[in-house]
Amino acid sequence: MDDDWQADLERWLAPYLEGLGNKTRRRMCPAYIAGLIGPGDCKSIQPMAARSDTISYDRLHHFIGAGLWDSVPLEATLWSQADELVGGDGAWLIIDDTALPKKGKASVGVAPQYATALGKNANCQTLVSVTLASGEVPLMLSLRLFLPESWTSDTARMDKAGVPVPLQEYRTKPEIAIEEIDRIIAAGVRFGCVLADAGYGLSAPFRQALSARNLCWAVGIPRHQKVYPADVQLIFPVAGRGRPRVRHVPNVKSIATHAMLEGAKWRQVSWRKGTKGRLTARFAAMRARFADGAPQRIGSAGAQHMPGEEAWLVGEHRSNGERKYDLSNLPGDTPIKALAGAIKARWVCEQEHQQLKEELGLDHFEGRSWTGLHRHALMSMMAYTFLQSRRLAQAGRKKKKPRAASPTHLASSAPGDP
């Protein structure tokens, strides 16, 4: 990155600073973001202040942890800029979560819980993330803390950490994701399809909420997810004795996803070009109705979920032997290459999480409060969007000469492959 990036940052932040009002806050915001972008391995407040000749630790700490300012105008500006950069009918809205490992138990939301990045249970905070992406360019729109029941069952603990009263009720990660999607839709952000991994896709209420909002979606599911054939019929079973049956039942049983696809036609599909050539895997796709309707007793099978919405059932066999499964309500005439492209588009979110942590200090925040954590996350997202906007501008100019060295990998290199 060239030496005038800080001057560019000041200009780029102008619409954000209008929403801060106070002169001191308008100085602290650029200083904080410059600290996240600039050199140094640790991006918590104390070392960032130590590297600055003009900003004190106390002022930076007050700005993030205790200052009386509303993040909503800054968030609205971030979403507007993201929409301008990558929004549109071809954009993806990617739902995921990321873990911030933490010691102790005083930091808001920290608890022993499963951390996807670590692949195991760990003491951490979990943030539900929403990313707007086009092609290989992701922009983070939202990071919202998930509160485990060990927190939501302890009002005094939440009050001490400053959790807003309306957000103290327990919400699952899929419920938080839907709330954030609603806010993003209300703000006018443009996207074509919602993507999520199996941590969200296994939730029938999550899928149903997306469909109820007339959104296209493609989500991962576990291999044991029950589905029905697309041509399943609802019939009145013949009663052997007693009263005639008054409820329809499916004429076939639901079966696990992996079993449904065993006899399907698998084919090699390439979804895009990577740095080492075309990216390919074997895919199979068929229409099915997933078993997420109302539960009903069906003969000797006991309580079973009735057939729900018809959708695409997609299987993927990777070269390393791993098998993955997805559901999607994309139109029935969608080619398998397009289905594969939608499913594989989620990977940019994982790299985005890694860059936010390793290069912009997302997981370096040492405060304990709800407000401080979410403001730090917002500053990290603003820093990321600034760097992506510079990168897109540089790509648009199609400079032939090599770019100068950058203080961050993000600003000077193209995304890698999954």
Residue with tokens 């090599």: 402
Tens digit of each residue's pLDDT (9 = 90 or more) over 179-218: 999 999 999 999 999 999 999 999 999 999 999 999 999 9
Confirm if 117 and 98 have CB atoms less than 8 A apart. yes
Determine the average pLDDT of the residues in 114-124. 83
Query: Which pLDDT does position 406 carry in this prediction?
Result: 35
Distance between CA atoms of residues 407 and 39, nearest Å: 6
pTM of the model: 0.89
pLDDT band at 297 (very low <50, low <70, confident <90, very high): low
Confirm if 139 and 82 have CB atoms less than 8 A apart. yes
Determine the average pLDDT of the residues in 390-408. 57
- As a whole number, the mean pLDDT across the chain is 87
Query: Which pLDDT does position 249 carry in this prediction?
Result: 75
Tens digit of each residue's pLDDT (9 = 90 or more) over 324-336: 999 999 999 999 9
Sorted by sequence, the CB contacts under 8 Å of residue 154 that are 6+ apart come out as none
Tens digit of each residue's pLDDT (9 = 90 or more) over 8-57: 999 999 999 988 878 888 889 999 999 999 988 899 989 898 888 778 88
CA nearest to 290, candidates 342, 339, 217 = 217
The percentage of residues in the chain with a pLDDT greater than 90, rounded to a whole number, is 62
Distance between CA atoms of residues 210 and 365, nearest Å: 33
Distance between CA atoms of residues 321 and 189, nearest Å: 38
Distance between CA atoms of residues 58 and 131, nearest Å: 32
Residue 275 pLDDT > 80: no
Distance between CA atoms of residues 137 and 190, nearest Å: 15
- Which one has a higher pLDDT value, 289 or 374? 374
CA nearest to 238, candidates 229, 251, 257 = 251
CA nearest to 215, candidates 108, 105, 370, 95 = 95
Distance of CA 352 to the CA centre of its chain: 10
Percent helix, strand and coil across the chain, each to the nearest 5: 40, 25, 35
Could you tell me the residue ranges of all domains in the chain? 5-197+350-412, 221-345
Distance between CA atoms of residues 295 and 278, nearest Å: 44
Kindly state the helix (H) or strand (E) to which residue 55 belongs, with its residue range. Answer: none
* Token representation of residue 240: 């052997």
- Which one has a higher pLDDT value, 168 or 409? 168
Query: Which pLDDT does position 396 carry in this prediction?
Result: 76
pLDDT band at 398 (very low <50, low <70, confident <90, very high): low
Tens digit of each residue's pLDDT (9 = 90 or more) over 97-111: 999 999 889 999 999
Tens digit of each residue's pLDDT (9 = 90 or more) over 315-359: 999 888 899 999 999 999 999 999 999 999 999 999 999 999 999
- Which one has a higher pLDDT value, 238 or 281? 281
